[in-house]
Chains A and B, each alone.
Chain A
Amino acid sequence: MSREIDSREIDKLDEPQALPTTARLSLGLTGAAIPTREQLRFQLDHALARDAVHTLLDIPALLHGLQQRGRAGFVLRSAIEGESRQKGRHLYLRRPDLGRTLHPDFAQALRDYAASTPEKPDVAFILVDGLSALAIERHALPLLDALLPTLDDHSSLAPICIVSQGRVAIGDEIGHLLGAKLVVLMIGERPGLSSPDSLGVYITWNPLPGRTDAERNCVSNIRQEGLSYNDAAQRIAFYMKEARRLETTGIALKETSAPESSRVSD
């Protein structure tokens, strides 16, 4: 039998909070186990992440926020629609394909809108709950506030779409139906243990159903402890400008001097 690891023989790290990491270090040992305080901290973080996944988007609050900013909102739902609220969330987790498609009624509504609006928009902003409605509720409007003033005044914007039970690729269908040249889609990212409200932004030129993630650019980890609104806005504005200049997004745009971009995930 080998000797057990003994906590009494391990010296504490000097100022662990000063280290450039949020890893759960120096947790201590009781027997072989994690002591109670750290055990419960983990459980609370997991509870927050779980609740974030299952929280449903507060659409009236978002519409109200847009109205205060003098912006029109267009409410859409994915093909998950038709199920009860919580059942819908469980279906959403099992069927990513349905989350990438608009419900037919809402696709029709969008088609009708586009038919009644002769001028095609340059940019469509789309807010999608994704895996964290909390991320959209906390960060989408402040990020728009930081981003919109930096954009070229001449570009025309579609009404801001709000989508529930959606995934990243639903932006392709929406952008296509609107006839938009560029889609900027904000979505709640999969909650991490210490980041229940992380927002991701995907920029796609010439949106069409069937686009792959390689054809998008992504700015992720937008949250209080992560990327700030101003930094995120700067990167997004950069991608939007480059997308218009090169008439493409994705890999072709990646090698430029953009501030570091992140992994694509959905």
Chain B
Amino acid sequence: MPYSHTVRGMKHTFADLRTLLAKASPLRSGDQLAGIAASGAEERVIAQMTLAELPLSVFTNEAVVPYETDAVTRLIIDSHDPQAFAPIAGLSIGEFRDWLLSDEATSERLAGLSIMPEMAAAVSKLMRVQDLIQVARKISVVSRFRTTVGLPGRLSTRLQPNHPTDDPLGIAASILDGLRLGSGDAVIGINPVSDSVASVTHLLRLIDHVRLRYSIPTQSCVLAHVTTQMEAMQQGAPLDLLFQSIAGTEAANASFGVSLELLDEAHAMARELRRGGLDGETGGENVFYFETGQGSALSANAHHKVDQQTLEARAYAVARRYKPMLVNTVVGFIGPEYLYDGKQILRAGLEDHFCGKLLGLPMGCDICYTNHAEADQDDMDALLTMLGAAGVNYIMGVPGADDIMLNYQSTSFHDALYLRRLLGLRPAPEFEAWLAGEGFHQLQRLGQPAALLPPEVAQ
């Protein structure tokens, strides 16, 4: 259905909701590549004005990707709770922005909000960077495994000790370096080069050995395909968090080799292991670690002419289904054809964090860029500082910010220390207590990373 709006005596019409959303989206190269971006600055603002006038409930009537052919749309529509939505159902999208920023939208009320991802995406398109920070800061989403991540005033990190050949000693050296600098309270997570079950199992054993030996309150993850991790679990691998990349359309998820049914199955299997749990409980419910990022649907040619930011928010509907431990938007990894420069990466990172939090997800961000993007360390510092102010749950910790396996730049162990010091943020409470104890002290005095290796690997 077409949407029209008259601005200064001139009537403007947009063919349908997805067209309107795409044209209202702040400029980014991925929407231009898809041929759906606004033709110029004026059309973009007129689209935003048109969008601001629409009722929030428009999304309950018109799907941007057809219900019949897309499982993510069905998940969004079928899980929508009209009763919880009722208090804000009468607002326009513009009024929704005003309400989110108002003192009426307290942390408690925001936590109880029930909206569709497209609503979060739509309102974000009307928001400036300070709005995205201000509202997100009001929302805390807390998840628990062996640490409690996302409490107000806390900042956690994923220790990311990747190595181009999965060399155990090389990985152990990076783990040691990170732990000594206070990194790793969200997860110690390795992107493996090899997706084989044997290799994934070896790496999980390595992390588990270090964790047990030095009594570190944290969790392990090896970011292989979910089916590989399922096989590893069946063979008895000590898997804590289950990883998978997800996206906002059924077809894009299919390109990752996953469906909701498969994720359901994997989720049940990982919960069955009952490895998490705090304060006497066993088997916490937060076991998934999801990664997302704007542009993934377009790169899989599965975007249905919907803008990349709206599709990213739809990926959060998939994540939300599983009450994950961690969700990570890998914002600048995809390259300049989707997010061209530091400005586009910065805004996208803040949008993703805002939308994720608004949808109730424990959002972290891989603040990152590739060498073919128009970005540098200064841009990352800006996004890092802003996300800290916005209350991001966790960021990455990579030795010297240089991931020698994935060939991109993320945040360093030092970056997390900077942010904690600058904003007075502390690690997860369990990890903070560990930092004051013997295990940590022992690691700081260790000269040989080989001491971290399990006996069967070390010899």
Q: Any chain A CB within 8 A of the CB of B254?
A: no
Q: How many residues of B contact A (CB 8 A)?
A: 54
B436 lies within 8 A of A11 (CB): no
Q: Any chain B CB within 8 A of the CB of A60?
A: no
Q: Any chain A CB within 8 A of the CB of B79?
A: no
A20 lies within 8 A of B170 (CB): yes
Q: Which residue of A lies closest to B431 (CB)?
A: A2
Residues on A with beta carbons closer than 8 Å to the beta carbon of B370: 190
Q: Which residue of B lies closest to A4 (CB)?
A: B421
Q: How many A-B residue pairs have CB under 8 A?
A: 142
Name the contact of B448 in the complex, choosing from A1, A14, A34, A53 (C-beta under 8 A).
A14
In the complex, besides A2-B427, A31-B421, A190-B407, 17 extra interface pairs with C-beta distance below 8 angstroms are A1-B424, A2-B435, A3-B436, A5-B182, A19-B173, A21-B167, A21-B171, A23-B170, A23-B177, A27-B399, A27-B414, A33-B414, A93-B335, A95-B337, A191-B372, A193-B407, A195-B407
Mask, A151-194, CB within 8 Å of B = 1, is 00000000000000000000000000000000000000011111
Interface residues of A, dominant DSSP = loop
Q: Any chain B CB within 8 A of the CB of A218?
A: no
Q: Any chain B CB within 8 A of the CB of A49?
A: yes
Expressed in whole angstroms, the Cα–Cα distance for A193 and B410 within the complex equals 11
B402 lies within 8 A of A25 (CB): no
Residues on B with beta carbons closer than 8 Å to the beta carbon of A97: 33
Chain A: minimal CB distance from B420 (Å): 8
Name the contact of A34 in the complex, choosing from B29, B171, B337, B414 (C-beta under 8 A).
B414
Name the contact of B336 in the complex, choosing from A5, A94, A191, A194 (C-beta under 8 A).
A94
Expressed in whole angstroms, the Cα–Cα distance for A195 and B164 within the complex equals 12
Residues on A with beta carbons closer than 8 Å to the beta carbon of B436: 3
Residues on B with beta carbons closer than 8 Å to the beta carbon of A95: 33, 337
Name the contact of B404 in the complex, choosing from A10, A22, A190 (C-beta under 8 A).
A22
Residues of A within 8 A of B (CB): 1-5, 9-14, 16, 19-27, 29, 31-34, 38, 42-43, 45-46, 49-50, 52-53, 93-97, 131, 190-195, 221, 263
Given A11-B447, A21-B163, A29-B414, A93–B435 Cβ distance below 8 Å?
no
A192 lies within 8 A of B407 (CB): yes
Mask, B400-442, CB within 8 Å of A = 1, is 1110100111001010011011001011000010011000010
Q: Which residue of B lies closest to A30 (CB)?
A: B414
B404 lies within 8 A of A46 (CB): no
Chain A: minimal CB distance from B384 (Å): 12
Expressed in whole angstroms, the Cα–Cα distance for A12 and B176 within the complex equals 11
Interfacial residues of chain B within 116-175, with CB under 8 A of chain A in the complex: 161, 163-164, 167, 169-171, 173-174
B444 lies within 8 A of A1 (CB): no
Q: Any chain A CB within 8 A of the CB of B4?
A: no
Supply 18 A–B pairs (Cβ within 8 Å), ascending by A. Answer: A3-B435, A11-B446, A11-B447, A13-B176, A19-B170, A20-B170, A21-B404, A22-B404, A23-B161, A23-B177, A27-B414, A32-B414, A34-B412, A45-B402, A49-B371, A93-B372, A95-B33, A191-B407
Q: Which residue of A lies closest to B432 (CB)?
A: A2
Residues on A with beta carbons closer than 8 Å to the beta carbon of B337: 93-96
Expressed in whole angstroms, the Cα–Cα distance for A81 and B116 within the complex equals 44
Name the contact of A131 in the complex, choosing from B167, B372, B409 (C-beta under 8 A).
B372
B170 lies within 8 A of A21 (CB): yes
Residues on A with beta carbons closer than 8 Å to the beta carbon of B167: 20-21
